Amino acid sequence: MLEIKVLTLFPEMVQAMLASSILGRAAAQGQVRYAVTDIRDFAVDKHRTVDDTPYGGGAGMILMAPCVVDAVEAVRTSPSAPVLLTSPQGERLDEALVLELLADAQRAGELILVCGHYKGVDERACEILAMREISIGDYVLSGGELPALVIVDALVRRIEGVLNDAASAASDSFTVDRDGGLDCPWYTKPPVYRDLTVPEVLLSGHHGKIETWRREQARRRTCERRPDLLREPGHENARRR
Ligand code: SAH
């Protein structure tokens, strides 16, 4: 069982998401266990201060190193557990990195995620904990809670048995079945909606033809929308970062 430990100043934000939908079900099924820790519990003074102004001046507050380091050291049980820091300056998350992080976490049985806040985290905390910085994209959010949840969701849905239908994950965008490209369009009932019909082949019952159509559609979409993803078939999204 994989233990995922999230360290944050806003535990209630994180807990709500971890309890819902597929993330919640994975925990209920015993495939993963979540623990959310309030970094403020590791504040060093009686006012529970966790941030201070930057040395050298400037706008914004910085999360202090001692509370972050103490919090991580208190929750970590495996010395090899990956410790991730959400940061716009980190490696950009994609499906290949998701699988790499999941494999590392599963080997250690544990994954630790630190949510930054304010202007950022004292650089010494990153150094001491050898945190791996992960970005969810080239934009800046006000805190690391949403990025941490994005990372957790992306990882947990790739744990074997978490999705009811393993084939479903394998045929999503960026996966081996999609040659690392985008997914095809999907349709469900009703067969006609506002004069729009469903592509006939999907109603034909001919599995071979349906599969060929889906592959063509997926390939076409990838060409049109994300030509940067096009490459040789048969690989998980291994676009080099
Ligand atoms: N001063 C920082 C931004 C701080 S934003 C800089 O310019 O690089 C506050 C916190 O939100 C960060 O510490 C980080 O934990 C989180 N965050 C913001 N944008 C993010 C992104 N794109 N990916 C991951 N984490 C992000």
Say which CATH number the domain at 216 has. Answer: 1.10.1270.20
Of 106, 113, 132, which Cα lies nearest the Cα of 32?
106
H-type helices in 64-122, by residue range? 65-75, 95-108
> Whole domain around residue 210: which residue ranges?
171-229
Beta-ladder partners of 111: 4
Listed residues 116, 131, 156: the one ending a domain: 156
Low-confidence residues of the chain, pLDDT below 70? 232-241
Counting the structural domains of the chain, the total is: 2
CA dihedral 164, 24, 108, 99 (to 10 degrees): 50
98 found inside a domain: yes
Which one-letter DSSP state was computed for residue 45? S
Looking at residue 164, its pLDDT comes to 85
139 found inside a domain: yes
Listed residues 127, 156, 185: the one ending a domain: 156
Looking at residue 169, its pLDDT comes to 84
3-state helix, strand, coil in the chain (%, to 5): 40, 20, 40
Looking at residue 236, its pLDDT comes to 61
Q: Which of 89, 126, 141 has most ligand 1 atoms within 8 Å of its beta carbon, as the pocket-test mutant? A: 141
Tokens of 133: 């910085």
Q: Which of 86, 121, 123 has most ligand 1 atoms within 8 Å of its beta carbon, as the pocket-test mutant? A: 86
- Asked whether the beta carbons of 143 and 36 are under 8 A apart, the reply is no
Domain shared by 128 and 220, yes or no: no
- Asked whether the beta carbons of 202 and 213 are under 8 A apart, the reply is yes
Q: Tell me: the pLDDT tens digits for 189-203?
A: 999 999 999 999 999
240 found inside a domain: no
- Asked whether the beta carbons of 57 and 45 are under 8 A apart, the reply is no
| Distance from the alpha carbon of residue 91 to the mean position of ligand 1, in angstroms | 12
Separation CA 35–CA 72 (nearest Å): 12
Looking at residue 240, its pLDDT comes to 46
239 found inside a domain: no
179: left (phi over 0), alpha (psi -120 to 50) or beta: left
Q: Tell me: the pLDDT tens digits for 59-78?
A: 999 999 999 999 999 999 99
